[in-house]
Amino acid sequence: MKYTLPTLNYAYGALEPYIDAQTMEIHYTKHHQAYVDKLNAVLDKYPDLPSKSLNELLSGVDKFNMDEKDRITLRNNAGGHANHSFFWEIMSPIKEIDQKLSEEIVKTFGSVDNFKKIFSDAAASHFGSGWAWLVRNSSGTISVYSTANQDSPITRGDTPLIALDVWEHAYYLKYQNRRGDYISNWWNILKLV
Ligand code: MN
């Protein structure tokens, strides 16, 4: 089985003016496609692994019997594929963060505004390429952190709930070095009440 790009259920310009159409198109057709292609290429070398689901690849990546260089390639590209697939989905114009999660956010962080501040700080202060996350831990509680490169919370045993890509390729065409503006504008896309 070969991994493929998931269908994007909205137009490249649908998130304008917060994320521009050109960034969306390059991000989806070039960057995400490259993670998919490299994931397929590394899996070709390990015939036993492709039968595993993407989640199984991510949660097991540190345990598989494989060359260490290939393990890094698998970690980066399975993560890249999973992270971007999730990111497109939560930014979809038809996706709403469900009421139950919104209530849990208020209960955990005090208010939606305080959650946004904590999440934005994690995204803004992350050094270099990576992601900011709201996740559900294995204990059932929710928390915010950032990960480097394309590392997935699934590898840590956590379930992604909200994600923000803070790689420069996600914002540089429109925002250049202004990561903070990209982050504050991005909240206009996420339908979190
Ligand atoms: Mn990206």
The amino acid at residue 114 is: N
Q: What is the pLDDT of residue 1?
A: 72
User: What is the domain extent for residue 135?
Assistant: 99-186
The residue-averaged pLDDT of 93-100 equals 89
Give the Å distance between the CA of 167 and the centre of ligand 1. Answer: 6
- Domain boundary, last residue among 90, 110, 131: 90
Give the Å distance between the CA of 20 and the centre of ligand 1. Answer: 14
The residue-averaged pLDDT of 128-148 equals 97
Number of domains in the chain: 2
Contacts of 109 (CB under 8 A, 6+ apart): 115, 118
pTM of the model: 0.96
Residue 168 lies in a domain: yes
Residues 174, 108 within the same domain: yes
pLDDT digits (tens, 9 = 90+) for 40-93: 999 999 998 988 999 999 999 999 999 999 999 999 999 999 999 999 999 999
Give the Å distance between the CA of 62 and the centre of ligand 1. Answer: 23
Query: Measuring CA to CA, which residue among 172, 190, 149, 187 is closest to residue 26?
Result: 172
Task: Tell me if 145 sits within 8 A of 135, measured CB to CB.
Answer: yes
Residues 104, 174 within the same domain: yes
Name the pLDDT band for 127 (thresholds 50, 70, 90): very high
- Of residues 143 and 95, which shows the higher confidence score? 143
Q: What is the CATH number of the domain that holds 115?
A: 3.55.40.20
* Mean predicted lDDT score pLDDT of the chain: 96
Give the Å distance between the CA of 83 and the centre of ligand 1. Answer: 8
Residue 118 lies in a domain: yes
Q: What is the pLDDT of residue 192?
A: 84
- Domain boundary, last residue among 50, 72, 90: 90
